[in-house]
Amino acid sequence: MKLMEKAPAKINLALDVLFKRPDGYHEVEMIMTTVDLADRIELKEIRGNQIEILSHNRFVPDDHRNLAYQAAFVLKQRYGINTGVQIAIEKNIPVAAGLAGGSSDAAATLRGLNKLWNLNLSMDELAEIGAEIGSDVSFCVYGGTALAKGRGEKITQLPVPPKCWVVLAKPTIGVSTADIYRRLQVGNMGHPNIKEMISAIENNSYERVCNGVGNVLEQVTLQLYPEVANIKSQMKTFGADAVLMSGSGPTVFGLVEHDSRMQRVYNGLRGFCDQVYAVRMLGDLSALE
């Protein structure tokens, strides 16, 4: 038997860090939403008891380091599964980009294997297992739009954000999330207003969403990689309504309401970056269909 799962990328409309915890992680408050740029995960039962990863992307590990492998491994161990599985990853989300590509592959693997192996686990149970694999995996299990707290694993669903385009631009560099958090000086920084962003989404106000975007990790990444700041300023010049770095970067996203303006921002950025995408937010749970 085999089945397919969609693994969409996420962006952080707002990302705040409250403090560094004794366990080394940072306590965060984030507003996350899925966008229409997705990997495809094909899960196939195979002979033996192995987990086999297939990927044609040289930046994606094909062994235990792959987050999809880790998702399958956790389920196999926990539920005593003795059959083999092949996980083929069609990689469309840029790697090490701040778009949670690996986390979404892991989440899709959890959802898919739950069906393939008839485990009958709830989404909440899958999200709890996902948290063992990575901080972004719980959100990716549900998709849609959510407030994420704790180290990212405490999820509260939110309504669909106002309809708009999202132009994504990724410079050629890859960024290590651990490195960015390590360099963050938590005291003495401005904070995005998370409550205001929630209210903006609840009131379906595009203008308030645009005014409310903010990411405290920008200060670290922009200083290390000036090309990210350059892309931000280009996006503003070409007319995006709001511009922000996603996650720990380096991908920058611009929100644009009108089709013609989106085309201008997209075409303008193509001159600077080879990885540019114009996508829709998939703010509701249809994100995973």
Ligand X SMILES: Nc1ncnc2c1ncn2[C@@H]1O[C@H](COP(=O)(O)OP(=O)(O)OP(=O)(O)O)[C@@H](O)[C@H]1O
Q: Which residues bind ligand CDM (CB under 6 A)?
A: 12, 15, 24-26, 28, 30, 100, 103, 134-136, 151-152, 177-178, 181, 247-248
Which is catalytic among the residues 16, 39, 136, 241? Answer: 136
Retrieve residue 203's tokens: 């009131």
Indicate the angle between helix axes 101-116 and 67-79, nearest 10 degrees.
30
Residue 97 identity (one-letter amino acid): A
Q: Let me know if 6 is a catalytic residue.
A: no
Minimal distance, residue 238 CB to ligand CDM, in Å:
26
- State the binding partner of 129 from ligand X, ligand CDM, none, CB within 5 to 8 A by kind: none
- Beta carbon nearer to ligand CDM, 187 or 271: 187
CB < 8 Å & 24+ apart, contacts of 18-22: 19/186, 20/186, 21/151
Contact 3, 116 (CB under 8 A): yes
Minimal distance, residue 106 CB to ligand CDM, in Å:
9
Is 102 part of any known ligand binding site?
yes
Tell me if 138 contacts ligand X by CB under 6 A: no
User: What's the CA gap between 142 and 124, in Å, rounded?
Assistant: 9
Retrieve residue 246's tokens: 């996603």
Is 99 part of any known ligand binding site?
yes
Tell me if 215 contacts ligand X by CB under 6 A: no
Strand (E) positions, 72-212? 84-90, 145-149, 154-157, 165-170
Which is catalytic among the residues 6, 10, 170, 232? Answer: 10
**Sequence-ordered list of residues with C-beta below 8 angstroms from that of 110, at least 6 positions apart, any chain:** 71, 75, 126, 129, 130, 137, 141
Q: Let me know if 170 is a catalytic residue.
A: no
Tell me if 101 contacts ligand X by CB under 6 A: yes
Minimal distance, residue 24 CB to ligand CDM, in Å:
6
- State the binding partner of 28 from ligand X, ligand CDM, none, CB within 5 to 8 A by kind: ligand CDM
- Beta carbon nearer to ligand CDM, 12 or 265: 12
Among 86, 177, 205, 263, binds ligand X (CB under 6 A): 177
Tell me if 60 contacts ligand X by CB under 6 A: yes
User: What's the CA gap between 190 and 278, in Å, rounded?
Assistant: 29
Nearest to 217 by CA among 28, 69, 3: 28
Tell me if 218 contacts ligand X by CB under 6 A: no
Catalytic positions, written as ranges? 10, 136
